[in-house]
Structure 1
């Protein structure tokens, strides 16, 4: 599903890649994200999950800095595209 209110942002930080997921909460979203990371062999070091009273989510996933695939802009672009389908 493509949600106009949803967004996936990937930024490279000093502590490694960080993926931010914004949008409306829906059943199974977190599971779908976790599954996607698992299938792509992406190691999430830390996750911050917040949902406000209106059902808006702000999730942040810190990725293992040792994952060299993130050096590739193409990999980053494809990952963001893939994750957008889950919103």
Structure 2
């Protein structure tokens, strides 16, 4: 199964004003994530929190809830993770 963080996601995320991201940490996270992780709300929230931390962003509970809701409403495509980086701004 393909990794949802593939297809240039790392480059797109780094180009979204998050140049401080440690690429090795981001690649490590990407290598650990499975498609099924997005179906488990607890794992999804952990991924979102980890991405926010790597991007140096603080997430409010409301923003985290909104991102989770967007995943479940299929407003965020897991194969286009750049949409998450926009939400982390």
What is the TM-score of this pair, normalised by structure 2? 0.36
Quick check: which one's strand share is greater? 1
What is the TM-score of this pair, normalised by structure 1? 0.36
Quick check: which one's helix share is greater? 2
